Amino acid sequence: MTGRVLILGGTAEARELAARLHDAGRPVVSSLAGRVARPRLPVGEVRVGGFGGPDALAAWLREHGVTAVVDATHPFAERISASAARAAPAAAVPLVRLERPRWTAQPGDDWRRVASLEEAAAAIDGARVFLTTGRQGLPAFAHLDAPWFLVRCVDPPMPPLPPRHLLLLDRGPYSLEGERALLTQHGIDVLVTKDSGGEHTAPKLRAARERGIPVIVVDRPPRPGVPTVPTVEEALQWLA
Ligand code: NAP
């Protein structure tokens, strides 16, 4: 397969794939949603902002001579993946999903898996919560006035937020030492995370395991039935 590749991005894997294709001389354009104020930009051509839904994305693919699409968006970015799954066949362009594997519990982990942010909020029984589910999901926790939350996100969130919280603006990758220090400094007794997978945000899981801190893990949403590969290497093979 040759020709121009569209990478739907916003992840480390998407940036790595863009760099590898760019180095190999393959025409590539990366697409970002434009949600983050100062995004980490991939090398090569970049476009920013929503397409306007599946029909508009299909039109964009045709107009820009795209011959393959890699949906390398975050495991919890549901709408853009659904849009790509409709747009690519409509434009007769092959589509592959690049999605990092889920995290799996290790010996010593005390995980409780839940299906949604709302279920995660209902499952909290700690007093001091480290909430790492991202700024868009904070309204699901806003009605909880008893626990205290350490809320970590990349950009400042919009209200509503839980009334008792400390905001920590930071962006991964995070170090194990840093995560251990946060748990200690803030007396954390429960961690809440999405099952994002990957290494960049995994040290918090190890730090929680070491301390015997329970973790509420929000499962990934269901995905459209699109051929899926777990690594950049396999996405490159698919593109070849
Ligand atoms: P989403 O709910 O699936 O997308 C909402 C809308 O934003 C889409 O319908 C689409 O608009 C636009 N959009 C999303 N990703 C896009 C992309 N890569 N290029 C162009 N338009 C895009 O997504 P989200 O959960 O808000 O995440 C937004 C972006 O942040 C994603 O690209 C994702 O990879 C990244 N991200 C998300 C998370 C997370 O936890 N959700 C974490 C880290 C990074 P139109 O319908 O108008 O095309």
Residue to probe by mutation, ligand 1, list 15, 64, 70, 79, most atoms within 8 Å of CB: 79
23 vs 2, more confident? 23
8 Å CB contact between 81 and 223 = yes
Q: From residue 208, give the alpha-carbon distance in Å to each of 15, 19, 63, 217, 238.
A: 29, 34, 49, 12, 37
Torsions phi, psi of 138, nearest 5? -65, -30
Q: How does residue 126 score in pLDDT terms, banded at 50, 70 and 90?
A: confident
Residues flanking ligand 1, CB < 6 Å: 8-11, 31-33, 35, 50-53, 57, 73-74, 76-80, 83, 134
Q: In the prediction, which pLDDT does 1 show?
A: 60
Closest atom, ligand 1, to C-alpha of 72: 34
Share of the chain above pLDDT 70, in %: 100
8 Å CB contact between 201 and 172 = yes
Torsions phi, psi of 35, nearest 5? -80, -35
3-state secondary structure of 88: helix
Structural domains for the chain: 4-100+222-239 (3.40.50.720), 111-218 (3.40.50)
pLDDT in tens, 93-102: 999 999 999 9
Neighbours of 177 (CB within 10 A): 10
pLDDT in tens, 25-48: 999 999 999 988 889 999 999 999
pLDDT in tens, 180-234: 999 999 999 999 999 999 999 999 999 999 999 999 999 999 988 999 999 999 9
Which amino acid appears at position 65 of this protein?
G
Q: How many CA atoms lie within 13 A of 88 on its CB side?
A: 24
* Dist CA 70 CA 77 (whole Å): 14
- pTM for the complete prediction? 0.96
What's the gap in Å between 48 CA and the centre of ligand 1? 11
Q: In the prediction, which pLDDT does 9 show?
A: 98
- The token duo for 38 is 């100062």
